[in-house]
Amino acid sequence: MTYLWLKAFHIVSVMVWIGGMFAAAIAVAALSASKPLSDAPGRAGILDAVRRWDRLATSPAMALAWLFGVAVAMQGGWFGSPWLMMKLVFVVALSGLHGMLSGLLRKLDRAGRPSAMSGYAPPAIVAAVVVIVLLVVLKPY
């Protein structure tokens, strides 16, 4: 029974984390394709809302996803399983991308526009999530 609760909380945490990452990635990508913030009234309010959501929901959800994920892996006895190690590579990459997006959200007021590479964040998130889900469901190794 504990395993099912841990798994449920892990899934909910991951959903909030990835949803928040999408919001941040889309906001950053949209702002990188538009005028600087100083020339665009209303964009600062959107940026503030995304920043606030990242700080209050997305970042804590990422921490909880890690916490519950480790607990689920311990309950399942999966540490050392090749599929889990491969999954962790992608989860670490998503965690790093989240850190980069959070940093870009903080710097957008000063820098004006993020780099063009930030437009690749949304597809990178989708690709990583697809790989992670396939690894967890199929456990191919």
Region 58-63: what's the mean pLDDT?
A: 98
In this model, does residue 35 exceed pLDDT 70?
no
Computed from CA positions of residues 22, 68, 84, 133, in that sequence, does the dihedral angle turn out positive or negative? negative
Region 91-97: what's the mean pLDDT?
A: 97
Instruction: State the burial class of residue 71 (Cβ atoms within 10 Å of its Cβ: 0-12, 13-18, 19+).
Output: middle
**Helix 82-111 and helix 121-138: axis angle, to 10°?**
160
15: enclosing H helix or E strand: helix 2-32
Give the domain ranges of the chain: 2-138
At 66, the pLDDT band (50, 70, 90 cuts) reads very high
Report the share of the chain in percent with pLDDT over 70.
87
Region 6-23: what's the mean pLDDT?
A: 97
C-alpha distances in angstroms, 38 versus 49, 50, 119?
17, 17, 21
Region 88-107: what's the mean pLDDT?
A: 94
At 28, the pLDDT band (50, 70, 90 cuts) reads confident
Region 72-86: what's the mean pLDDT?
A: 95
In this model, does residue 39 exceed pLDDT 80?
no
**Per-residue pLDDT at 75:** 94
**Model confidence pLDDT, tens digit, residues 119-133:** 899 999 999 999 999
pTM over 0.75: yes
